């Protein structure tokens, strides 16, 4: 993005992504990810952000977890305090002040679920219904946060966003 930092040192914040003896799945292997920072409480979130400075990280990907969603206001405030570029998987993080999100549309999931319920109510056996993947994804950018971070978001990127929060 013009007028802002390049993402060179990325950190992934997660609950307990790697259990002992397991390695990161290949689809999540990224040489730019310095490490996974685990946080399971508001105090651990604070500590994780403090550690980001020691790692000289300039970007953060926050894991898709209900705990992080519940703590979205705290995380957005820390994102601003530490001047970090952060990306999330749910729109609610961006509404709370996060920079951007790309992920499954929760409204789209509810609509898909309603289709399942309708089929069951019409007599279909739940075990006979196919498993479906999400079909609607959304990209959201918070321009207020971008401005606070000193970023100029290119018009082409804004045009691709499903929602721009000003």
**Over pLDDT 70: what percentage of the chain?**
80
* Domains of the chain by start residue, with CATH: 10-104+135-165 (3.40.50.2300)
Q: Which residues have C-beta within 8 Å of that of residue 165, sequence separation ≥ 6? A: 94, 95, 140, 141, 142, 143, 144
Cα angle, residue 164 at apex, residues 29 and 132 outer, rounded to 5°: 55
CA–CA distances in Å: residue 166 to residues 29, 41, 115, 146, 163: 33, 30, 34, 10, 10
Integer Cα distance of 90 and 100 in angstroms: 9
Q: What mean pLDDT is predicted for residues 94-122? A: 92
Rg from Cα positions in the chain: 18
pLDDT digits (tens, 9 = 90+) for 115-135: 989 999 999 999 999 988 888
Q: What mean pLDDT is predicted for residues 139-150? A: 94
pLDDT digits (tens, 9 = 90+) for 16-41: 544 444 444 454 555 556 677 888 89
Q: What is the pTM of this model?
A: 0.78
């Amino acid at each position: 993005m013009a007028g802002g930092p390049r993402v060179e040192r990325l950190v992934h914040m997660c609950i307990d992504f790697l259990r002992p003896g397991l390695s990161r799945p290949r689809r999540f292997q990224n040489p730019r990810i310095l490490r996974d920072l685990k946080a399971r409480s508001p105090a651990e979130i604070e500590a994780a952000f403090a550690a980001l400075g020691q790692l000289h990280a300039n970007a953060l990907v926050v894991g898709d977890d209900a705990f992080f969603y519940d703590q979205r206001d705290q995380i957005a405030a820390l994102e601003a305090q530490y001047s970090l570029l952060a990306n999330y998987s749910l729109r609610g993080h961006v509404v709370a002040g996060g920079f951007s999100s790309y992920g499954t549309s929760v409204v789209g999931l509810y609509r898909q679920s309603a289709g399942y319920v309708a089929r069951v109510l019409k007599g279909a056996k739940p075990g006979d219904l196919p498993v479906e993947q999400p079909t609607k994804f959304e990209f959201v950018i918070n321009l207020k946060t971008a401005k606070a971070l000193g970023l100029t978001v290119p018009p082409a990127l804004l045009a691709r966003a499903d929602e721009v929060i000003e």
